[in-house]
Amino acid sequence: MPPGPSTHPKSSYLQRLKHLGYFILLLWLIELADQLLLQNSLENHGIHPRSLSQLPNLLFAPFLHADWSHLLGNSLSLLALGAAILTQGWRNLILVSTTSALLAGLLVWLIGASGTNHLGASSLVFGYLSFLLASGFYQRTPRNIIISSLVGLFYGGSLLSILPRNSDISWESHLGGAIAGLLIARHQGKKHLNEIRTSSGPLTP
């Protein structure tokens, strides 16, 4: 019996994309509520370096944005890069998202300039970007190499923003996300290599 619509690979991928779209829609609804109902007060809940009282904001900062252009730029990148990761399933997207948000938030809290306020989903964007680029190197499957090459072509120049060159950009957040994506890709690459070695069995003379 052929698989039903719910089990068809294409249908499953489209379902994942739809849920990614819901997450991005949530970011827009939060920004809409902040600007229309809350007088931008949510922006105060970003990450404030070395402020113990603001430490829980590590969990909220990726959902908040400074303005519509900030949100639009992150939304387009989240959609494009997130869609690429979703070809591997939900697990990788959730893993990269949570690790990037937490590691980037912690790095910002530790080394960010005093008196600054960091917010936005760019930590996720750079986690996705780094993960996709590094996966092509560490796993080297045809799919990963092709995706990594395309991502590098369209987004590779964005990695320059992990350097402290522009005081208006949270380079610490970008750097933390990029480190998280790299570490996950490296770990999964080693795991993939071990699985290949295990499945090939012992070598005989």
Q: Is residue 155 part of a domain?
A: yes
The whole-number average pLDDT for the span 113-118 is 95
Q: Is residue 2 part of a domain?
A: no
Domain holding 94, by residue range, is: 9-200
Q: What is the pTM (predicted TM-score) of this model?
A: 0.90
- CA atoms within 13 Å, Cβ hemisphere of 195: 7
Q: Is residue 205 part of a domain?
A: no
**What is the model's pLDDT at position 116?**
95
Q: Is residue 19 part of a domain?
A: yes
Integer Cα distance of 58 and 125 in angstroms = 16
| More confident of the two residues 4 and 67 | 67
Q: Is residue 126 part of a domain?
A: yes
Integer Cα distance of 63 and 48 in angstroms = 15
The whole-number average pLDDT for the span 13-35 is 97
Q: Is residue 130 part of a domain?
A: yes
**What is the model's pLDDT at position 203?**
45
Q: Is residue 152 part of a domain?
A: yes
The whole-number average pLDDT for the span 126-136 is 97
List, in sequence order, every residue forming a beta bridge with 118; answer none if it has no partner.
47
Q: Is residue 18 part of a domain?
A: yes
Read off the pLDDT band of 9 (50, 70, 90): low
Q: How many domains does the chain contain in total?
A: 1
Q: Which of 179, 180, 181 is nearest to 151 (CA)?
A: 181
Residue 128: which CATH number? 1.20.1540.10
